[in-house]
Structure 1
Amino acid sequence: MPICRSLLVGLLSVLLSIPALAQTTSPTFLTLNARQSCWVDSVFTNMTPDERIAQLIMVAGYSNRKPGYEDSLVTLVQKNKLGGVVMFQGGPMRQARLTNRLQANSKVPLLIAMDAEWGIAMRLDSTVRYPYQMTLGAMQGAGSDSLIYQMGAHLAKQARRLGMHVNFAPSVDVNNNPNNPVINFRSFGENKYDVARKALAYMRGMQDNQLLTSLKHFPGHGDTGTDSHYDLPLITKSRAQLDSLELYPFKQLINAGAAGVMIAHLSIPALDTTRNRPSTLSPAIVTNLLKNELGFQGLVFSDAMNMKGVTKYFPSGRADELGLEAGMDVLEFTEDVPAALSLIKQAVADGRMSQASLDARCLKVLKAKAWVGLDQYKPIVLENLVSDLNPVQDELLNRKLTEASLTVLKNERNLLPLQRLDTLRIASVAIESDKVTAFQEMAGNYTLIRHFNITSKTPDSTLAQVRDSLKNYNLILVDVHLNNIRPAVKYGLQSKTAGLLGELVATGKAVVTVFGNVYALDKLTFPMDTAQPSRNIEQARAIVMPYQLTTYTEELSAQLIFGAIGASGKLPVTVNQRFRIGDGINIQPIGRLKYTIPEEVGIDSRYLAQQVDSLVNVGLSQKAFPGCVVQMARNGKVIFRKAYGKHTYDASLGAEPLPVQLDDLYDMASVTKVSTSTPALMRLVDEGKFNLDGKMADYLPSFKKSNKADLVWRDVLTHQARLKAWIPFWMDTKNPDGTWKPKTFKAEESGRYPIEVTDSLYEFKRYPKTIFQQIRDSPLNAKKEYVYSDLSFILYPQIVKRITGVDFEDYIKTTFYKPLGATTLTFLPRRYYSLQRIVPTEYDSLFRKTLIWGRVHDEGAAMLNGLSGHAGLFGSANDLMKVYEMYRQKGSYGGQQFISQKTMAEFTRYQFPELGNRRGLGFDKPSFTYTGNAPKSATKASFGHSGFTGTFVWVEPDPAYNLTYVFLCNRVYPTRNNPKLGNLNTRTNIVEALYQATKRGLQ
């Protein structure tokens, strides 16, 4: 295609306007292809001089204004043929419609811009919000630059989807003044090298994805205590000081090809001695310094021309004209467009500006428009706009950015991450939050925590009760919620709650997390009455700084405290003598469950959710179970947690059925075997107290003269020791006429009948011994082959107590559950929880004649006072997963080795595959030919167990998968005569979906 002749004239004008010393890398928008160049030429040559001037003006646009506003804005743009619109508050759909309307009524496509330093959410609802630049400034290492680049790239794609072309970002101000009211948290920090490096990554991410950027606020707004929105700040630094610090990041990014620079409203005598002249209107700063000395060739934008920093001394219109005289390319937020255009044209007529110089700037604007694709303008597609602006990849990126920034400023005696949870009695106190916070909810996933919430409006009587209650705890997690980020209002600190914070840190039990501006650390000093010394945050045992208050910072800070993630952030600024730039203690994770989204482990969340939802909903619709909880993890990261359905099908319990909650307690049925008896035996094997190849009589002296004396435990644990599958113990307690035999059951509790089976059924105190005798005296199967049996697991509590001297439940809880933080795992849950948290099982019409609710479903376990090694365990899916995640981690969890790797490997391997026996020791494993007992894709290394009530657990330790899975339901409600769960194979099909999702992610 031949070069358009008239374009040569325009290019010559541009070349003549470019100083001899040019930036090292020219902005990419100055280099166009032939099609784009001809579009620029065609548009330019068809413009009048006045229209070329109008291209240099951008007005403000809002999508949240009253009816009639849009009409006036469209008229303003259309009538004056303006070059662009800077969008402010509103919503994405409203803004998209407004943008389409503006573009449809504009002769030349408009350049749409926005201040979106931390994402489009800075201006619009229902869009992605990224961390502040100060938060990003805390990130360290080469990986941090890559994450910031990704943020820029993601933001650019969102902006383009919304019809935006310019982001007035990044801020490259070096914030070395803690009291800066306007930059502050918007800066990457006070180290010029870090600011330049991080800003460069951000800029490249945007520009590489066709979004124009604008470095701000030239020549540096970081060292001022005045907000240019309300006054003209004075910068008294020398030129040498400015060169050394403030100008450094601008120079670096200009030389790297910055597309735009925004000029601040500042009075800087070292650069321009004219009194009260803002830098925006200064030829010395805009033309001499930026364009000539630094050789900047890109677009020079003004800061908003409605700000007091410029209008205080120069009225609207006059300021715009002087801005162009100074060398500005684009005027942002011109308030009085007619006045501005009139004065600009008068300046041309008077010879203060040449039309040629304005034409050159117009050409530059048109080139920018062509580069962003406005030469082939298309309206914004409204369909799926909001979902397109909120891709799940951005949630993952937000999590990564937040996690990388978390900074630990104090860690007395390496308290963090918290270990030995069994030694801690933990309370959490949320300051300035009247409801349980995201931080508290996440912390509650790790162990039992009592939550308190305090605000400045909390009555003194309530505060007194809180103080008294906190005496019962030896660790207090304090999350301080600062609802303001500005220094002028003390970052949202309130004197009343600050005083309470002072009391808490003075206890020597507090771990404090400050969700707010980092400079607030200097204000967290609490003067008390003269009889007491002053208190400040430094007295806390540990201090975590997440820099701002978001759901991400809250959740990840809690995960940091409990060791699911580490910390590597460093302070990007100096707060005071105690908290200085570069401070930050590295923390390593200790292997507790991390709670995140599937994309973090390479799984498509939508695919996984669709597969799981579909399978569960089929089960619900066919009444295979009334409700369930599904929890999945990969690589130790919980990626799926969802509660479905209700506790029951109908209102048969006297009220509407309760919806299932994630923390509801289910009867684990036979999952009890591998959650209580099996780990106890593994621990005893590690301690040399139990021999897998020993005989039954070795640990049960009463069996020495029985037919089971010589049974080998390895055979017993793999269900091939000839034991009967089960014994219906309760049937032996009834006479033929249906009455109870003597010394079995009574309707009322007494000293002789203390064992509560139901509210109206009590068992004889010595009857459990009868059960053990029945097991001892039961016949053996004729053939040694695999027959799944409950009987040995009923005996393990006796063995554990005989070896350790500790009751079985106490042993399991103190050895495993409490250190794991699995505090809901328990027998006899009615002792600790309301029935509303416990999911009912079957209506027992044969033995107990009542609904089984909060009591063990298994009849044999019920006759053992609800406590057995084969059934009786209750708990939540989350706490149960901790046990199986410990198994997946080869016996380790939370920095503690519970079971040796050797023993874990022994118990979870096939013991007798040559005999066709698929079992491990206690654990189930995949059949050698698929039968549905395990997922189709399960490897030979995997293991787990199912329960009669509908429960299922599975662990896949193969490095290609690293999966942990828990499924809890009450399929036996209202009757066990419901085979639909098994027929549908719901439990294993769901975990198979996890395998398939993992495979898809690996492709």
Structure 2
Amino acid sequence: MNLNQKIAQCFSPAAFIHDTEENYQLIDSLILEQEIGGLTFFHSRHSAAANFEKRAEVLDVSGTLEKMIGLINRYQAISKTPLLISIDGEYGLAMRIEKTPQYPFAITLGAIKENALELIEEVGYRMGLDMKGAGVHLNLAPCSDVNTNPNNPVIGYRSFGTNPQQVAENSVAMYQGMKKAGIGACLKHFPGHGDTQTDSHLGLPVIQKNKAELLAEELLPFQYGIDQGVEMIMVGHLAAPALSGGKEIASSISREIITDLLKVEMGFKGLVISDALNMKAVADLFSTPGQLEWVAFHAGNDILCFSDHVKEGIEQISENASEEQINVIFEKIQKLKEQLGVLGSNNLEAPEFDWESHSELQSKLASEYVSVIYGTIDSEELQRLADEGKLIHQSYYGQLESTFSKNLIQKYGLNLSKTPIESAEKVIISLFLPSHKPLNQFGMDDKTLYEIKKLAQSKSCILVHFGNPLALSHLGNLEDFEGVICGYQSFEEAQTIASNLFL
């Protein structure tokens, strides 16, 4: 390969599953003319930087998995060098692709009581097998961010928790599970995106901590991962002036942070991948196409993710980088492709998922994370009140006939919602959180929040919270409830385990 071809192996632009034929052909051109090294798949253009909770656009989303596999086959068939296929699937393919197995969020896995590392590694392994079967070589996960800021708009449920050592161990367990399945993974978002209040998709977050504080919290999980042999780290678009000579510069384009700190001081010898280069924290800084790509490359990134200016980026790097620098990075990428079996990729067919085994794992996990976090549950008293017609079940934002509701009806032998709330002595409140993101009170409206708080103050209530536990702060004083059960997610298996606490 000539130098431009070697540089092109660093590029992994976005490929959208739901797109126009014209845009598919533009990817064809990048492969044929620029000879890019890989592609990062997203659901659609409008949802590229979002998870699967809410889509702003209305799409024909039928057969998303089959469409992706068809595109992978199409693109691999025309590429001289097999493409490294990556996806951002922190909780599985389901983060981007409907009707595929979804696993618990990191915050949920962080709540596992027993055998956490073993179970989290198993989740990573299963997730990896799903992805490998779908033609994905690299999962851009897990998050090693320590969620020390509850108002963080972009991390929250994506973090394993607030304890740096726990986050370190859990994220490495997830990483090792995916590696065991034969796919690549990476810790992100170096140097740590947990204690921020700005979404880096929209602007530049700044962490105002000194280096000692950063080493004790944000950097600890990454150093732990490096010491455990982690081979890939993603650098985020966030500024840490204490690490960059006082400059408020995105870490993803800071040579002080990537080369001097991560590679030299912390001893990382693996591959560094940039966070998406279309994100406004960095994309709006450079008016000349290709300049951002060169700056990111020079800072120490080996793989450039989601570049919007591939051709110009290759040209800028070719003009400015040394031949030695290009060759070193090219060899690292080729070695990664060999390790992940990219160079022997064959024509793919849509995988069959073992849904029964997946449900068994979900039940096993839920039995470890669903728990009473405040108060007690007296099932004998509840049965007595149900028999007397003094127990009611009030559900918010959930389906009328949820698994949880059906199990309560079966347990207490009557439809609890038929009991008038005025005559009820005790109320079981099930709350199915509309969103796992903190925006707009996690999707909860003021009227509903007021109603729940008023109910808790006027009646003896047990709250069953199916969602991000960070949202509990919007529900007033938890001591107003007789008991609080945290289900973390609305999986049917989690609902079943939560209802079992009433037995």
Distance 1:362 1:171 in 2: 26
1:524 to 456, 469, 475: 475
Equivalent residue number for residue 456 of structure 2: 505
Q: Are 2:356 and 1:392 aligned?
A: yes
Q: Are 2:76 and 1:103 aligned?
A: yes
Matched letter for residue 295 of structure 1? G
1:363 to 310, 324, 331: 331
Q: Are 2:409 and 1:444 aligned?
A: yes
1:415 to 365, 370, 377: 377
Distance 2:222 2:23 in 1: 38
Q: Are 2:396 and 1:431 aligned?
A: yes
SS at the partner of 2:420?
Answer: helix
Distance 2:454 2:245 in 1: 52
For 1:146-182, what per-residue CA distance to the aligned partner results, in whole angstroms no more than 9, with x for missing partners? 1111111111111111111111111011110000111
Given the two structures, how large is their TM-score scaled by the length of structure 1?
0.47
Matched letter for residue 94 of structure 2? A
Answer yes or no: is the 8 Å Cα contact 1:265–1:279 preserved in 2: yes
Say if 1:416 and 1:64 are closer, same or farther in 2 by CA, change over 3 A.
farther
- Residue correspondence of structure 1 range 383-782 to structure 2 within 5 A: 385=351, 388-411=352-375, 414-417=376-379, 421-424=383-386, 425=389, 426-433=391-398, 435-452=400-417, 469-525=420-476, 536-560=477-501, 562-563=502-503
Equivalent residue number for residue 818 of structure 1: none
Matched letter for residue 290 of structure 1? L
Equivalent residue number for residue 171 of structure 1: 143
Distance 1:403 1:550 in 2: 12
Matched letter for residue 377 of structure 2? L
- Give 1:67 shift: 3.3
Q: Are 2:49 and 1:61 aligned?
A: no
Say if 1:104 and 1:504 are closer, same or farther in 2 by CA, change over 3 A.
same
Distance 2:400 2:410 in 1: 17
- Count, aligned residues: 480
Equivalent residue number for residue 674 of structure 1: none
Say if 1:417 and 1:379 are closer, same or farther in 2 by CA, change over 3 A.
farther
Distance 1:449 1:553 in 2: 22
- Residue correspondence of structure 1 range 807-846 to structure 2 within 5 A: none
Given the two structures, how large is their TM-score scaled by the length of structure 2?
0.92
- Give 1:140 shift: 2.1
Equivalent residue number for residue 379 of structure 1: 347
1:335 to 308, 312, 317: 308
Equivalent residue number for residue 61 of structure 2: none
Q: Are 2:123 and 1:151 aligned?
A: yes
Equivalent residue number for residue 160 of structure 1: 132
Q: Are 2:233 and 1:261 aligned?
A: yes
Distance 1:435 1:345 in 2: 61
Distance 2:323 2:363 in 1: 51
Distance 2:380 2:257 in 1: 54
Query: Unaligned regions of 5+ residues in structure 1, if any?
Result: 1-46, 348-352, 453-465, 526-535, 564-1003
SS at the partner of 2:392?
Answer: strand
Distance 1:58 1:65 in 2: 18
Distance 2:103 2:379 in 1: 26
Matched letter for residue 38 of structure 2? G
Answer yes or no: is the 8 Å Cα contact 1:149–1:203 preserved in 2: yes
2:26 to 68, 72, 80: 72
- Give 1:451 shift: 4.5
- Give 1:346 shift: 1.8
Matched letter for residue 222 of structure 1? G
Distance 2:249 2:385 in 1: 65
Matched letter for residue 294 of structure 1? M
Matched letter for residue 78 of structure 2? N
Equivalent residue number for residue 895 of structure 1: none
Task: Return the structure number with greater relative CO, CA threshold 8 A, min gap 6.
Answer: 2
Equivalent residue number for residue 934 of structure 1: none
Q: Which has the larger radius of gyration?
A: 1
Equivalent residue number for residue 38 of structure 2: 84
For 1:904-935, what per-residue CA distance to the aligned partner results, in whole angstroms no more than 9, with x for missing partners? xxxxxxxxxxxxxxxxxxxxxxxxxxxxxxxx
Answer yes or no: is the 8 Å Cα contact 1:430–1:436 preserved in 2: no
Equivalent residue number for residue 123 of structure 1: 96
- Give 1:123 shift: 0.6
Answer yes or no: is the 8 Å Cα contact 2:93–2:102 preserved in 1: yes
SS at the partner of 2:373?
Answer: strand
Matched letter for residue 543 of structure 1? V
SS at the partner of 1:181?
Answer: coil
Say if 1:123 and 1:423 are closer, same or farther in 2 by CA, change over 3 A.
same
Answer yes or no: is the 8 Å Cα contact 1:508–1:541 preserved in 2: no
RMSD over equivalenced CA pairs, Å: 1.8
Distance 2:443 2:361 in 1: 28
Distance 2:112 2:381 in 1: 26
Answer yes or no: is the 8 Å Cα contact 2:200–2:237 preserved in 1: yes
Answer yes or no: is the 8 Å Cα contact 1:430–1:437 preserved in 2: no
- Give 1:419 shift: 5.7
- Give 1:381 shift: 2.3
SS at the partner of 2:273?
Answer: strand
Matched letter for residue 7 of structure 2? I
Equivalent residue number for residue 250 of structure 2: 278
Q: Are 2:207 and 1:244 aligned?
A: no
1:221 to 193, 198, 202: 193
- Give 1:231 shift: 0.2
Matched letter for residue 370 of structure 1? E
Answer yes or no: is the 8 Å Cα contact 2:188–2:234 preserved in 1: yes
- Residue correspondence of structure 1 range 785-800 to structure 2 within 5 A: none
Say if 1:391 and 1:299 are closer, same or farther in 2 by CA, change over 3 A.
farther
Answer yes or no: is the 8 Å Cα contact 2:241–2:249 preserved in 1: no
Distance 1:489 1:204 in 2: 36
- Give 1:134 shift: 0.4
- Residue correspondence of structure 1 range 865-884 to structure 2 within 5 A: none
Distance 1:192 1:418 in 2: 41
Say if 1:558 and 1:256 are closer, same or farther in 2 by CA, change over 3 A.
same
Matched letter for residue 451 of structure 2? L
Q: Which has the higher helix share?
A: 2
Answer yes or no: is the 8 Å Cα contact 2:371–2:498 preserved in 1: no
- Give 1:274 shift: 6.0
Answer yes or no: is the 8 Å Cα contact 2:237–2:250 preserved in 1: yes
- Give 1:324 shift: 0.6
- Residue correspondence of structure 1 range 934-945 to structure 2 within 5 A: none
Distance 1:95 1:69 in 2: 14
Equivalent residue number for residue 178 of structure 2: 206
Q: Are 2:203 and 1:231 aligned?
A: yes
Equivalent residue number for residue 318 of structure 1: 291
Query: Unaligned regions of 5+ residues in structure 2, if any?
Result: 45-63
Distance 2:13 2:265 in 1: 30
SS at the partner of 1:446?
Answer: helix
- Give 1:438 shift: 2.5
